[in-house]
Structure 1
Amino acid sequence: MNKITIFLKKTLKALLWIIISVVLLIIIVALLLQVPSIQTKVVNYATSYVSNKTHTKVELKKISITFPKSVLIEGLYLEDLKKDTLLYAGELKINLAFRDLFDHHIHISSVGLENISLKVDRSENDSLFNYNFLLTAFSDSTKKDEPTTKEKSSWIVSVDDVSLENIRIKYNDQYGGTNFKGSLKNISLKMNELDLANSVYKIDELLVDNLSADILITSGHISDKNSESVLPKIIADKIEIKNTKLIYGDSINKQSLIADLNRFKLKDGAVDLQKQTVGVNNISLSKSNIRFNTTAKVINDSIVGAVDPANTNNWVVAVKDIDLENNAFAYMVMNKPEIKKVFDADHLDYKKVTLKAKDLSYSTSKTEVEIKKFNAIDQNGFAITKLETKFSMDEHSVTANKLKIKTRNSSIDGNFDLHYSSLKSLKDSIQFMVVNADMKKVSVTNSDITYFSPDLAKQAFFKNTKNVTTVSGNIKGPINNLSGENVTIRTGVNTIAKTDFKIAGLPNIQTATFSFPNLILNSGKTDIVMMAGPAIPKSIELPEIISMKINFEGQIKAFETTMGMSSSYGTARVSAKIDKNENFRSKVDITAFDLGRLLKNKEMFGPVTLTASTTGRGFDKKTIKATVQAHASQIYLNKYSYHALDLDGAIAGQQFEGKISLDDPNAAFDFDGLVNLNPKQEQYKFNFNLKGADLQKLNITKDDIRIGLVA
C-alpha cells in the first residue's frame, strides 16, 4: 500500500510539475502578448529555450491563449535524455483564474487532457527518475543553507474539474520496485478541495470509464530515510467506475489481485489512510469479477510475534448500505492442491454473488452487519440460495439473530449466540463457553453435511445422501452445564426423538452427567439399518416399527434408567441401575415378543413373555457375580409354546447354582444344583427330575413318545 501511495503521489507531482512549468511559462508570455502570431513565435522561442536548456527534444504544435483564463495546447512532445518519449499531450486545455496568481494561488477551474502518453522510469541501479534532468536544468545552482525546519510552499494549488480522455501511463521503477502500466478512455473529475500539502482530496464526482491498470511490486531498494509524509485522506460524494480491469501483482509475497469491474458505485465516502478509517454511505458493485491468488506460508517460530508496529491493523470501517449484484469472487491458495467436489477452504470460486446488507461496522474489537439478502454458487455447483441474519462478533461473543439460510437441499431458521472469555480460551476452556441456540427449524441433507465434512461419507448413516435430518428446540447454557427444552430430531423415514435434557460436565463424555427425563424415540428397521449399517448382524431382522419412552439419569457407566418399548414384534419394559463400582440391579418385562421374526427363524422360535430381575456386580464374564430370578409365562420353541418356566439362582463367572422348573401340561421338570464351566474348575452337581414330557406334542418326534427321568 505504501509503494502504491508513493507511486501515485510521485506520478501526480510529476504530472503537475510538468504541466504547471509549461503553463506558467506560457502564462507569462500570454500576459505580454495577445496576438496569435506573436504567441506562436514566443512559444517557439520558449520550446527552443527549454530544449537547449535540457538538451532534449521539445515540440509544441499549436497554442491558443484566450485572455484572461483559457489556454489550449496541442501536440506537446518532450523527450528524456535517452531520446525516449517522456510526455506527449495531444491536447491540453486549461482554464485558469489568472487574478489568483497574484495571491500565490494557482486556481485551475478546469483542465482537459486528450491523447496523453506519459513514461516515467528509473533503472535498477539509479535512484533518479528519467524526468530528473528537468529539475536539474531549472534548479537554482546557488548553494543554500539547509533550513532547520521544513517550510511549506506559499503557493496554493487547487483544481475544480478534470477531464481525461485516451490516457496512457507507464511507470517503470525498477529501483523502487514498482511497475505500473495503465490506459484510460475517459475520466471526469470534479473536485471540491485539493490540498497537496496536507494530502487531503475532496471529490465531488469521479466518473471512470474503460480504465486498464497493471501494477507489479518487486523487491526494490529500501530507502534509509524515514518517510514523514502524511498518508492521503480522500473524501468523495460520488464515484462511479465502469468497464475497468485492474491487475495487482506482488512478487515479494507471491500474491495477485485481478479485478474486472463492470460497474462500481460509491456515494458519500471517506478514506483516511493515516488514521486507518473508512466511512461510506452507499457502495454497489454489479456483474464484476474479482480474484485473489496467494500462497500458503510456512511460519517460522523465530519470527512469530515479531510484529512491525507500522503494519499494525487498526482499521475502522463503517458502511451504511452494500449492494452487490451478480458478481464473481475467487480466493485461491496456489501452492496447495485443489480438492474436487467438496468444500475446499483454500480454493473458493463463487459465481452469481448477490448481497444486500446494511450497517456494516468493522474494527479489531468488533464486527457487525445486517444481511438482508445473499446468494452464491461455488465451483462445484453448491448454492446458497438465501442468507439473512443480523450478525455480531466481538472478543467475547458471536451472535447470529434471525438467521435464515437455505441451500438447494437444506435450511436453517433460528437464533444463535455464543459467549466466551476469549477466542484463545476456546482451545483449553471450551467447557466455559455459553451457548444459546433457539432452533425454530434446522433441516440438513446428508449431501450438504458430507460436502463440508467428506470423511463422514464413510459412515453408514451418510451413505444415503438424500436423507434429511431436522432439529428444533432450544439449547442453552455453558458447555459444562447444558440444557435443552422441547428438542425434536427427525431423520430417515420415520425416526423421531423428542426430549428435554440436562448435561453437566462436558466436553468429557466419560465423566459427564446426563439427564433425559422424557425421551421419546420412534424408529424402525429401515432407519436403523441406514444408521448402523454393517454393525447389525445379518442373522437378525429388525421390527418395522419401534417406539420407546426413556428416562435416563447418570453417566455413561453409572446410571439409572427406565425404558418402555413397543414394536411390531411385541413390547418390553426395562429398568436398570448401575453404579461406579459396577454394582447393578435390573428388571425386564417382555410381553409376546416374537423372537422368531427377530432371529429370522419362525420354525424354531416365536413369541416370548417373561419377567426377569438381576442383582449383582461386574460385567466381565470371568468375574461377574449376580442373582437371577425369572418367570416365563410363554416361550415358543420348535412350534410349541412352553408355559410356566421359572428360574432362581446365582451366577459366579461361568458358574450357575440354583433352581429351574417347568410346569407345562406337556413337559415338567425340576432342576436343583450347580453347573461350573469356569476353566479348570469344571463341575456338575445337580438333581434333575423330569416329571414327564410328551415328545410328540413338543414336536421333538412324530411318534407318540412320553418319557420321565430322575437324575
Structure 2
Amino acid sequence: MLLALLVFSLQFKSVQTYFAQKAAAYLSKELNTTVSIKSLYIKPFKSIVLEDLLVLDLQKDTLLSTPAFMVDINQLSIKKKIIDINTVQINNGTFFLKDFKDNSSNLDFIINYFDSGKPSVKDSTKKPYKIDFGRIIINKLNFKYKNFKAKDLTQGKSVNFDNVDVKELSVIMEGLDTKNHLFKTNIKNLTLREKSGFYLKNLTAETTVDSNAIELKNLLLVTNQSRLTNYYQMKFNSFKDFNKYIDNVRMKAIFKDSHITSKDVAFFAPELNTMKLDLDVDGQITGLVNNLRAKKLSVKSGKATYIKGDFVIKGLPKWEETFMDLKIDMAGTNKTDLDEVLAGITGKKKKIVPSIVNKFGNINFNGSFTGFQNDFIAYGEFKTKLGKIVSDVNMKIDKNDVPSYSGNVKTYDFNLGNLIDEKSLGHITSSLYVKGRGTELKHLTEKLNGTVEYIDFNNYRYRNVKIDGTFDKKYFDGNLSINDKNIKLLFDGGVNLNPKLPVFNFNATISGAKLKALHLLKDSLRVDAKFNTNFSGTDLNNIEGRLRIQEITLKNPKGTYSIDSVELMASGVG
C-alpha cells in the first residue's frame, strides 16, 4: 500500500519538484558547485518540463541556465531500448564553455563525475539504445566560448573562434543524427548575433558537422548585407583553423542568385576589412581564400561590371600580390565602374584607371587575362564605343599608374581620331605590333610595326598602309608606305609636331597622288615627285631649312607639266 501511494504521489508536479530539488542539492554537494531547479513536471512516457535550471562551474560562473526546458516523448521503451523524442525545447538559456591553459574545461568536472570508465570487454550481445530526436527548438539562447590558451588579436573587428559571444541564438533542428557525425540535422531559421557585430538573419540548410568538415546542402544564408544559396562546404584539420580561415579552411561553394559583400566576409577574414566590394555571384568556387578556383562563375559588381568564365586566383586578400588566370567567356565594364570596383578592392580613393579609358564607353571583352593587377597579359576581343580591338598584349602599370605595354593589336573600324583628340583622323582597321608607354598623346611613346587596311585622314580613307616606326610624344620616326588607288607613297624619316614650328626631316616618293580625291585641293591635280626635306615651319613666312623636290610631274585637265627638280632654302624671315 505504501509503495502504491508513493508511486501515485509521484504523478504530482509538487512531489516531482521536491525530489528534483533534493537531487539538485545532492549534486551541488557532490560536484562542489551550485545546481538548482525551481520546478519539474514529468508526465510518464509523454513529456518532461523543467523550469529555472541553473548549473555553476567550479569558478562559480554560470555554466548552464535556462528558465524552461521541455521534452516531448513519442515512445519510451526500456524493454525494446527505444527512446523516441518528438521535441526538445530550450527557451532563453545561457551556456558558457571555457577551455583553460592546462587543457581542461569548465565542463570536465561534470563529465568526470558521471564517467564510470570504459568497460574492459565490450559485450557485443547487448543491444544498444536507439535514440531518435524528431526536433530540437532553441529560442534566444546566449552562448559563450572562451579559450584562455589563445590571445584575442581581432580587437572585436571579426569573429574570434577562441572567444565567441553569441546572443539570441534561435533555431529549429529536425532529424538529428549524432551516431555517424558530430551532428547531422536539417537546420531551419537559425538566427544569431555575435559580439563582433556579425548578424545572421537566417540560415536554413541540410547540415552535417564533423570534426574536420561542415557541409550545408540546399543552403539559404541571409545576413545584414549578403544572401547565399545553394551549397557550401568547409574542410579543415580542426576548428582552430577558423582563426586562420584564409590559409587553412578549404571551401567548396555552389552559388545561385547569391549576393556577397566583403564586409560580411571580413568578419571571418579580417584582412578584408579595408575592402568595400559587393558581388552578385552564380557558379562554383573551390579552394582556400588565398588559392581559389572557379568554374562557370558569373560575377557582377557596380552598375555595369560583370565577368563570366573559369578562373584561378592566388594571393587574396593581398590584392597587389594576387595572381589571376582568368578564362573569360564574357566580361564588361566602363571607367566609372572600374574606378569604383578597384577602389573598393585596393582601398585607394583616387581614380586608378587612366582617363583615356573613359573614351571607350562600355567595354565588352572575351578571352583571357593572366597576371597581376599591375602586370598582366590580356588576350582576346574588346568591343567598345570606339570600335573593336583584338589584343595579345602584356601591360605593366608603374607606381605612378602610367602603363607600358607590348604585343599584337588588331583594330576593326576603330575611331582613332576620337581616342587621341585629333579631328583630322577618323577610323582605322589595322594589324600592328605595339610597344609603348603612356596613354595621353603629350606623353605617348610608342613603337609600331605592321599593316593598316585603311585609315581615315582629312575625310579620305587611305588603304593598304604599312608602318614601321616610333611615336615619341608628337614625334614620328620610321618608314611608311601607302598603296592606295589615289596615292602611292614611300616615306622614310621623321616628323616632329611638338614645337611651335614643326620639324620635317624625311625622304619620300609620291606617285599618282590625286589631290582632289584626297581632299587636299579643290581642283583636280595629280602629283608625282620625290622629296628630300630638312626644314621647320608651317608656311612661307616662318619656314626655315631645306626642301628638295625631284622628278616632279603635275597633271590636271589642262595638261601635264614636268619639272626636273626644285630646291628651296630659307632662313625664316618671320
Mapped partners of 2:243, 2:535: distance in 1: 62
Q: 1:636 to 1:548 in 2, by over 3 A?
A: farther
Mapped partners of 1:403, 1:97: distance in 2: 57
1:405 is matched by which residue type in structure 2? T
Q: 1:331 to 1:212 in 2, by over 3 A?
A: closer
Mapped partners of 1:235, 1:562: distance in 2: 65
1:488 is matched by which residue type in structure 2? F
Give structure 2 stretches of 5+ with no counterpart.
1-5, 152-160, 198-209, 314-323, 337-357, 388-394, 437-446, 472-476, 494-505, 511-527, 552-562
2:158 maps to none
Report if aligned partners of 2:169, 2:190 keep a CA contact under 8 Å in 1.
yes
Mapped partners of 1:230, 1:149: distance in 2: 28
1:528 maps to none
2:235 maps to 273
Larger radius of gyration: 1
Report if aligned partners of 1:202, 1:236 keep a CA contact under 8 Å in 2.
no
Q: 1:164 to 1:149 in 2, by over 3 A?
A: same
Mapped partners of 2:166, 2:285: distance in 1: 35
Match of 1:501 among 431, 455, 459: 431
2:306 maps to 388
1:375 maps to 301
Report if aligned partners of 2:229, 2:257 keep a CA contact under 8 Å in 1.
no
Matches within 5 A, 1:486-525: 486=412, 488=414, 490=416, 491-494=419-422, 495-496=425-426, 498-501=428-431, 503=433, 514-516=449-451, 518=453, 520=455, 522=457
1:324 maps to 259
Q: 1:418 to 1:120 in 2, by over 3 A?
A: closer
Instruction: State which drifts further: 97-106 or 599-608.
Output: 599-608
Mapped partners of 1:138, 1:639: distance in 2: 111
Q: SS in structure 1 opposite 2:541?
A: coil
Mapped partners of 1:192, 1:62: distance in 2: 29
2:107 maps to 131
Q: SS in structure 2 opposite 1:42?
A: helix
RMSD, aligned CA:
5.8
Deviations 1:228-254 (A, max 9, x none): x8534544445455xxxxxxxxxxxxx
2:566 maps to 633
1:39 maps to 2:16: yes
Q: 1:111 to 1:206 in 2, by over 3 A?
A: same
Displacement of 1:32? 9.1
Q: SS in structure 2 opposite 1:140?
A: coil
Q: Which protein has greater RCO, CA pairs closer than 8 Å, 6+ apart? A: 2
Q: SS in structure 2 opposite 1:81?
A: coil
Match of 1:262 among 208, 220, 224: 224
1:438 maps to 381
Report if aligned partners of 1:517, 1:553 keep a CA contact under 8 Å in 2.
no
Report if aligned partners of 1:389, 1:400 keep a CA contact under 8 Å in 2.
yes
1:387 is matched by which residue type in structure 2? T
Q: 1:65 to 1:150 in 2, by over 3 A?
A: closer
1:206 maps to 188
1:439 is matched by which residue type in structure 2? F
Q: 1:152 to 1:330 in 2, by over 3 A?
A: farther
2:190 is matched by which residue type in structure 1? V
1:358 maps to 282
Report if aligned partners of 1:591, 1:609 keep a CA contact under 8 Å in 2.
no
2:168 maps to 185
Displacement of 1:350? 2.2
1:138 is matched by which residue type in structure 2? F
Matches within 5 A, 1:91-490: 91-99=68-76, 102-124=79-101, 126-140=102-116, 145=120, 154-175=128-149, 179-203=162-186, 205-213=187-195, 230-237=211-218, 239-241=220-222, 261-262=223-224, 265=227, 269=231, 271=233, 273=235, 315=250, 317-324=252-259, 328=263, 348-350=274-276, 353-355=278-280, 357-362=281-286, 366-371=293-298, 374-376=300-302, 385-393=303-311, 398-408=326-336, 409=358, 410-417=361-368, 436-441=379-384, 455-456=400-401, 482=408, 484=410, 486=412, 488=414, 490=416
Displacement of 1:207? 1.2
Q: SS in structure 2 opposite 1:97?
A: strand
Q: SS in structure 1 opposite 2:116?
A: coil
Match of 1:603 among 523, 537, 541: 541
Deviations 1:675-699 (A, max 9, x none): xxxxxxxxxxxxxxxxxxxxxxxxx
1:515 is matched by which residue type in structure 2? G
Report if aligned partners of 2:76, 2:84 keep a CA contact under 8 Å in 1.
no
Q: 1:411 to 1:230 in 2, by over 3 A?
A: same
1:191 is matched by which residue type in structure 2? E
Give structure 1 stretches of 5+ with no counterpart.
1-28, 216-228, 242-260, 277-291, 297-310, 337-345, 377-384, 445-449, 460-478, 507-511, 525-544, 578-584, 614-629, 641-711
Displacement of 1:73? 1.0
Deviations 1:627-647 (A, max 9, x none): xxx96437485899xxxxxxx
Deviations 1:520-546 (A, max 9, x none): 36499xxxxxxxxxxxxxxxxxxxx99
1:655 maps to none
Q: SS in structure 1 opposite 2:58?
A: coil
Mapped partners of 2:454, 2:328: distance in 1: 29
2:233 is matched by which residue type in structure 1? V
Q: 1:79 to 1:320 in 2, by over 3 A?
A: closer
Mapped partners of 1:407, 1:151: distance in 2: 75
2:34 is matched by which residue type in structure 1? K
Mapped partners of 2:482, 2:113: distance in 1: 102
Deviations 1:199-238 (A, max 9, x none): 35131x42133422459xxxxxxxxxxxxx8534544445
1:633 is matched by which residue type in structure 2? V
2:108 is matched by which residue type in structure 1? N
2:106 is matched by which residue type in structure 1? N
| Aligned residues with identical type, % of pairs | 11
Q: 1:612 to 1:637 in 2, by over 3 A?
A: same
Q: 1:293 to 1:235 in 2, by over 3 A?
A: closer
Mapped partners of 1:127, 1:330: distance in 2: 31
Mapped partners of 1:548, 1:263: distance in 2: 56
Q: 1:592 to 1:150 in 2, by over 3 A?
A: farther
Q: 1:80 to 1:412 in 2, by over 3 A?
A: same
Q: SS in structure 1 opposite 2:37?
A: strand
Report if aligned partners of 1:208, 1:240 keep a CA contact under 8 Å in 2.
no
Report if aligned partners of 2:228, 2:260 keep a CA contact under 8 Å in 1.
no
Q: 1:269 to 1:362 in 2, by over 3 A?
A: closer
Mapped partners of 1:596, 1:403: distance in 2: 49
Deviations 1:20-59 (A, max 9, x none): xxxxxxxxx9999322232122212211221222122221
1:77 maps to 2:58: no
Displacement of 1:553? 6.3
